[in-house]
Amino acid sequence: MRPSTIARLLGLTVVSLALAGCASIMSLWPGEAAKTYPKVTEVKSMLWVGNSFFYYNNSMHGHVGQLLSSAGGKGYRATSATIGGSGLNWHDMEAYFKPNAVGSYSFVGDNEVKFNEPGRQFDATMMMDCSQCPVHPTLKPLFYEYAKKHSNTVRKNGAEPILFMSWAYSDKPEMTAQLADEYVKAGKLNNALVVPAGLAFANSVAKRPDLSLILADKRHPTLMGTYLAACTVMASVYKQNPVGNKYTAGLPPAVAAHLQAVAWETAQAFHAKEGRGSL
């Protein structure tokens, strides 16, 4: 895709970017395919499998939990299994689902240890490959291989796989459409929900280019970036509107309100094309 085309895409509105600007991406989600998606009534426990994009800023899953708690949710639990710089092929998914291991207890309240019920520990697993693996000419085959392998392992253990569409590097905006293409294809191939965080980043940049979502290293998220991604997870996985949520991660109210709105609008537009109301 030419830089001029990318620039035009980034200049569109949130809905236009998700539905019109990414028409080639969204066309991969036909109605017939959407009908085959699994239904999970509620995700109360989530395993996050990824890398530093997840664990920056005191971990993305923690912000999702704060958003859900602020919205009145109770009993949500998350466990983060992250390795800096890792691709999906670095992770031993089978090991994460061993009995009496990952997720078998939690720390609650004033560091009180709570032993969770034995058996299935997670309702869903959020997976992200390395930031360029899905579009790297050498590593792309591994992305598809392990998206499938890990999705099968997750389902074998009674949970549902979710793919986290990451964002473009700040100096390579063309990665937005490239990453979206690959994550959407992998989602379709594995019948897995996709969280359109990368599209949310591009939509925020189009609306508020003054807000820095990515650090000076051009890759990792600022607190604003992590918060935007967390709001997008809330909107996509939990089907809850983050707009007006009292938890702002300490960001200025106007900034948090913008990020909440972008996350909700992006997720609504993206998932409307799927024709699905729940994970």
**Using one digit for the tens of pLDDT, what is the confidence trace for 58-116?**
999 999 999 999 999 988 999 999 999 999 999 999 999 998 888 888 887 788 888 88
Residue 74's contacts (CB-CB under 8 Å, 6 or more residues apart) are none
Could you give all domains of the chain from N- to C-terminal order, each with its CATH number?
3-272 (3.40.50.1110)
Give buried/exposed letters for 23-59 (b at 16+ CB in 10 A, else e): eebbebbeeeeeeebeebeebbbbbbbbbbbbbbbeb
Query: Is the CB of residue 132 less than 8 Å from the CB of residue 178?
Result: no
Kindly tell me if the per-residue pLDDT of 135 is higher than 50.
Answer: yes
User: Quick one: which of 43, 186, 44 has its CA closest to 128?
Assistant: 186
Separation of alpha carbons 15 and 266, rounded Å: 7
CB 241 within 8 Å of CB 186 = no
pLDDT for the residue 48 = 97
In this prediction the pTM is 0.85
Q: How far apart are CA 34 and CA 179, in angstroms?
A: 21
pLDDT band at 29 (very low <50, low <70, confident <90, very high): very low
Convert the pLDDT of each residue in 262-278 to its tens digit.
999 999 999 987 544 34
Average the pLDDT over 25-54 and give the result. Answer: 63
